[in-house]
Structure 1
């Protein structure tokens, strides 16, 4: 584990070592904030770490200019990270996603067959419900409607909607248990 320099450490004497020391100080001061910034926009820790790494690589390339500039380095770092995030979003939006890529070698790799069968069992169980019970299950679970909104959309009182959902889930549970036991 490398030892991070502290702020009051004297800089090393050689130019290369001084640049390394300066970059290590920049990293210690700003990396955590940059990572949080990038992760908030990507939603993915790995991609956020890549953005931060590329930001500090660009800072290393521009280090003499950054150290001589009177403007705050933090602002420059966040601008670079912001541009990298924009570039990544743009390139992802124009890159087509092919369904065949996920099944490149084996069509049912990673439990795909089991997932397909589980879906089939669930669809069959939903078909066996009455239309009123199926509507409330679909509205609340698959469409994510709150109970009062689902009741309003279906034109029933909230108590009736709750009762239908209760009985529908009980029936679904019994059907799924019997289907999985077979």
Structure 2
């Protein structure tokens, strides 16, 4: 399999158009590099935009969706491969195993949860794959301020902070995901 990047991003239907455009740019960029997209298997919002763009530009797309979310998140019938699992934990495990890098775009609680899990497992030495945050407009600034405060208070090591690559453009984010 080619280099595969797991992309985490928003699936809520009310995300601004600028975030849909960002997801489209990331999907196209993945394909341009000859990479495979691993994502949550949804056609909703940013998730759908990143997958559509990747496929339109020639990238294989591997979607992983829990059975209970097939209708809610609108499972993508045009995925190159759509894997249906039973739980969110299985979804994350499957995505983790198939990805060579992890890229978080703007998103909500689900995106935060996925980011924190791969970031934590990276700094604990459970994998050595890049964990990249794309923050084009300070979407993540509150979270990053909080995590830096946790470091100041002695709860988070500098090693943990350094395990997350923070970028501001799709080009820089994808460059950070490169093998």
Instruction: Give me the TM-score of the superposition, normalised by structure 2.
Output: 0.21
Bigger RCO of structures 1 and 2 (CA < 8 A, at least 6 apart): 2
Higher alpha-carbon Rg: 1
Q: Which has the higher helix share?
A: 1
